[in-house]
Amino acid sequence: MHVLLPPSETKRSGGGGVFAPEALAHDRALQRTRAQVRRALLELCRDEEAAAKALKLGAKNRGEIAHNRALRRPAAAPAMPAIERYTGVLYDALDPLHLDVGARGWITAHVSVQSALFGLLAADDAIPAYRLSASTRLPGLGAPLANVWRDAHARIDRRGPGWILDMRSKDYAALAPLPEGAGVLLQVAQREADGTARALNHFNKAAKGLLLRRLALSGAALDDADDFAAWAAGEGLEVELDPAASGAAATATLVLPAREAGAPPGAVLAAVSAG
């Protein structure tokens, strides 16, 4: 199996490695587009006001423009594994820095991250800090990021790693849509008192991070959606599978139990926590 993650707007600074663009996963297919997007981002960041507006930066985080400008000299940009570079709710829940060796190795073998700047990254690809989201418009690119990256990713064999569990958000999934039948889109819902399942919004990212952590700790080896649902049942979790409808991807919905009266909102995540 293979898990696809979205990146995060927030990232750790620094890094002890050296950024080598040619060493990133899928370099043969994505090298040209990676360089094209990087050049367009650098062009935008020549004008700090324009960059701050396009990148949606306030006074407190304008320093992130300097991270982008550092990409002009890639070898001088401190790098760290992508899975450790990103922070935010999903990555905080995954907590990759505190996984044991086996679970960390599982992440390396089974996880990729969909970056707006670099395209599809392996979990251990060493990358610098940067600021660019999937919805950002880069004037120098001449087309939306989704169009540019979709065409580039069409050159990658997306079925090679096996069955895919797609945890990406809508904007990032649009950068490299899954081939039909290649996997399922993960959704998160909560069981209501009347038995219905309601989409979970606020804790959606945390639930995905905790689920990925649990997969890694278990060393799961899954070949398809049915295997995933069976693994979840064995872990005491509920997963509902919905086949692909016309124009829509197949989905797997992680359904969390109803919150007990008086329990704090975050208690719904207890069912997904492990280790």
Q: What is the pLDDT of residue 249?
A: 79
Q: Which pLDDT band, with edges at 50, 70 and 90, does 83 fall under?
A: very high
Closest CA to 113 of 6, 218, 192: 6
- 13-65 residue pLDDT tens: 899 888 999 999 999 999 999 999 999 999 999 999 999 999 999 888 888 99
3-state secondary structure of 78: strand
Q: What is the pLDDT of residue 260?
A: 64
Whether residue 218 has pLDDT greater than 80: yes
- 221-240 residue pLDDT tens: 999 999 999 999 999 999 99
Distance CA(226)–CA(195), nearest Å, equals: 23
199 strand-pairing partners? 189
Q: Which pLDDT band, with edges at 50, 70 and 90, does 127 fall under?
A: very high
Whether the CB-CB separation of 33 and 176 falls below 8 Å is answered with no
- 183-193 residue pLDDT tens: 999 999 988 87
- How many Cα atoms within 13 Å fall on the side-chain side of residue 158? 21
Percent of the chain with pLDDT over 70: 96
Distance CA(27)–CA(20), nearest Å, equals: 11
Whether residue 8 has pLDDT greater than 70: yes
Q: Show the DSSP H helices in the chain as ranges.
A: 27-44, 48-54, 64-69, 82-85, 89-94, 101-110, 145-153, 170-173, 204-218, 225-234
* pTM of the model as a whole: 0.93
Whether residue 172 has pLDDT greater than 70: yes
Whether residue 264 has pLDDT greater than 80: no
Whether the CB-CB separation of 71 and 130 falls below 8 Å is answered with yes
Q: What is the pLDDT of residue 229?
A: 96
Q: What is the pLDDT of residue 97?
A: 96
Q: What is the pLDDT of residue 263?
A: 63
- 56-71 residue pLDDT tens: 998 888 889 999 999 9
How do strand 164-166 and strand 183-191 relate by DSSP bridges?
parallel
| Residue 112: DSSP 8-state | E
Whether the CB-CB separation of 191 and 258 falls below 8 Å is answered with yes
Whether residue 266 has pLDDT greater than 80: no
Q: What is the pLDDT of residue 243?
A: 86
Average pLDDT of every residue of the chain: 92
Q: What is the pLDDT of residue 161?
A: 83
- 138-155 residue pLDDT tens: 999 999 999 999 999 999
Q: What is the pLDDT of residue 248?
A: 67
Mean of pLDDT values over 241-268: 77
Whether the CB-CB separation of 94 and 209 falls below 8 Å is answered with yes
